[in-house]
């Protein structure tokens, strides 16, 4: 039973409120750091209708958005835009969602409760995210935890919120599935989600003859059975349970090379089917050491190494885009060159082989020892690009000019040793460092067989505009939103 909260503390920005904010922000940051990669987080909050607005933005996530934030929270006379609170006296779990801030590159979630008049939690929208849904559910739970801890006060504070939010990945995925059920108004019997999520992870970690699983496992409700085009239906008494990971892993062998899929009701495996699935369903698409969880054919998240994440498991190569911008190229040429390199990299990633791609911006091209082609291959032709993808399997590097043609393959990259080599990264990586240190107008992409992708330029690994978030939670300090915005105070007479 939920009881209404009591105002058992001074309703201002006390050290206790700062501690709650720090613990929750730290938990969200660390959790999303695992789920989506290094992530900035921030919160804007107001405890009571008449209290001050505060912000905690420890890594400047919201810098550059001051104008939009000011217009959202203040009128043109710099006075706060007042709103009422219909939840006063209600239990902390009574949450009303608010209007989210729409900012480029930012995901936000706003809400109101009795204990906290307004709170807006924000984090980065990483371009490679498969879906923002689980992240939104993460921020939604931060809202609930802030409301709960504020209502309990310092006497009952346990500090568990931050710890729970650090390990929230599976719960966030579960929450997004339930959210989608509600959004679509699904009323038939629902799938039991947590056992399904556990089974997917368990199966993904189960190898058969040292091989990770491939194939698709689809989860449906009983009401959908009549619409399924079964090729083989298992006897009711002999349907393998989904928590029998070894058995289900063996059955995936039957669907890994064809456009077939295993069908499950969330408890057992019913059989093998083909064709499209109508109605609400989940699908685990196993692709070796990783896979994708889809909801109604739309990617929701991926899974690998026993956990869920928002990663697409494909290199986005933003670094290549950034480097190409330094060259005076027509935008169409730049785009096509990027497409060629991306296609080669993604093919190598998909087929699990290592390769090296040299993008040579020199005129004439740098002379490299390798297999010369009498006629360079025009990689804007899809069939020749396909050929180049397979030529990348051959030991040595591909040499591509800014004319978007493949001039050589099986190239040997040499160069004198340089400072900054990393012996743990192997010959491809270090040869690329040496070569680009001597040949400045060459960009080299190194794809390792275990899927890391490195962009080498000027003798260094180019890391683009990525950032590192430190783990020092004690640096998180709340401040008045007016101070953060640099606004002068408004006197009572104004």
DSSP of 232-277: EE--GGGPPBTT-HHHHHHHHTTTSSSSEEEEE-SSBEEEEEES--
Q: Which residues contact 351 (CB under 8 A, 6 or more apart)?
A: 393
> Do the domains 15-167+474-485 and 318-450 sit in the same CATH topology, yes or no?
no
Neighbours of 449 (CB within 10 A): 14
Tokens of 255: 């669907």
Tokens 């070569």 map to which residue?
435
What was the pLDDT predicted at 5?
47
Distance CA 414, CA 30 (A): 41
- Are 406 and 357 spatial neighbours (Cβ–Cβ below 8 Å)? no
Domain ranges of the chain: 15-167+474-485, 193-309, 318-450
Tokens 């900035």 map to which residue?
40
- Are 243 and 199 spatial neighbours (Cβ–Cβ below 8 Å)? yes
pLDDT tens for the chain, residues 1 to 494: 444 444 444 444 578 998 999 999 999 999 999 999 899 999 999 998 888 999 999 999 999 999 999 999 998 877 887 777 887 878 888 899 999 999 999 999 999 999 999 999 999 998 889 999 999 999 999 999 999 999 988 888 888 999 999 999 999 999 999 999 888 887 667 899 999 999 999 999 999 999 999 999 999 998 889 899 999 999 999 999 999 999 999 999 999 988 899 999 999 999 999 998 988 999 999 998 899 999 999 999 999 999 999 988 877 788 898 899 999 899 899 999 999 999 999 999 888 899 999 999 999 999 999 999 999 999 999 999 999 999 999 999 999 999 999 999 999 998 776 766 666 677 888 899 999 999 989 999 999 877 678 999 998 888 654 444 554 444 578 999 999 999 865 544 45
What was the pLDDT predicted at 469?
54
Q: Is the pTM for the entire model greater than 0.95?
A: no
What was the pLDDT predicted at 451?
65
Q: Name the H helices within 46-118.
A: 66-73
Assess if CATH 3.40.1700.10 describes domain 318-450. Answer: yes
Assess if CATH 3.40.50 describes domain 15-167+474-485. Answer: no
> Can you give the length of the chain in residues?
494
Work out the burial of residue 329: count CB atoms within 10 Å of its CB; fewer than 13 is exposed, 13-18 middle, 19 or more buried: middle
- Are 147 and 116 spatial neighbours (Cβ–Cβ below 8 Å)? yes
Radius of gyration (C-alpha) of the chain in whole angstroms: 27
């Amino acid at each position: 039973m939920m009881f209404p909260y009591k105002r058992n503390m001074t309703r201002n920005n006390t050290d206790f409120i700062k501690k709650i904010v720090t613990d929750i922000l730290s938990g969200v940051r660390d959790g999303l750091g695992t789920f989506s990669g290094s992530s900035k987080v921030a919160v804007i909050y107001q405890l009571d209708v008449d209290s001050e607005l505060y912000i905690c933005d420890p890594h400047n996530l919201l810098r550059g958005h001051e104008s939009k934030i000011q217009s959202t929270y203040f009128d043109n006379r710099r006075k706060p835009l007042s709103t009422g609170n219909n939840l006063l006296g209600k239990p902390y779990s009574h949450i009303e969602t608010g209007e989210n801030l729409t900012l480029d590159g930012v995901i936000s979630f706003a809400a109101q409760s009795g204990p906290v008049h307004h709170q807006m939690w924000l984090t980065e929208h990483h371009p490679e995210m498969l879906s923002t849904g689980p992240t939104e559910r993460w921020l939604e739970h931060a809202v609930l935890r802030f409301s709960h801890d504020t209502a309990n006060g310092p006497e009952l504070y346990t500090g568990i919120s931050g710890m729970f939010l650090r390990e929230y990945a599976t719960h966030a995925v579960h929450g997004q599935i339930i959210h989608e059920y509600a959004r679509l108004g699904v009323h038939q019997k629902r799938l039991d989600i947590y056992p399904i999520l556990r089974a997917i992870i368990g199966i993904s970690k189960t190898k058969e003859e040292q091989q990770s699983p491939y194939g698709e496992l689809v989860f449906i409700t009983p009401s959908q059975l009549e619409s399924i085009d079964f090729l083989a239906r298992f006897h009711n008494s002999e349907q393998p349970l989904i928590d029998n990971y070894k058995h289900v892993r063996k059955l995936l062998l039957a669907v890994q090379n064809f456009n077939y899929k295993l069908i499950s009701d969330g408890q057992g495996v019913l059989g093998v089917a083909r064709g499209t699935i109508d109605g609400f369903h989940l699908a685990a698409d196993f692709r070796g050491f990783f896979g994708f969880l889809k909801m109604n054919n739309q990617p929701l998240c991926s899974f690998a190494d026993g956990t869920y994440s928002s990663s697409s498991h494909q290199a986005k190569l933003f670094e290549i885009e950034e480097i190409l911008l330094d060259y005076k190229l027509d935008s169409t040429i730049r785009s096509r060159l990027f497409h060629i390199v991306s296609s080669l990299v993604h093919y190598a990633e998909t087929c699990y082989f290592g390769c090296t791609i040299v993008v040579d911006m020199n005129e004439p091209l740098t002379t490299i020892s390798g297999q010369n082609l009498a006629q360079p291959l025009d990689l804007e032709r899809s069939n020749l690009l396909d050929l180049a993808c397979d030529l990348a399997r051959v030991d040595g590097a591909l040499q591509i000019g800014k004319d978007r043609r493949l001039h050589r393959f099986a190239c040997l990259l040499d160069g004198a040793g340089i400072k900054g080599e990393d012996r743990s990264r192997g010959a491809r990586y270090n040869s690329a460092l040496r070569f680009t240190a001597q040949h400045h107008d060459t960009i080299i992409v190194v794809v390792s067989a275990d899927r890391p992708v490195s962009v080498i330029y000027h003798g260094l690994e180019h890391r683009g505009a990525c950032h590192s978030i430190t783990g020092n939670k004690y640096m998180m300090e709340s401040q008045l939103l007016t101070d953060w915005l640099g606004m002068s105070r408004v006197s009572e007479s104004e």
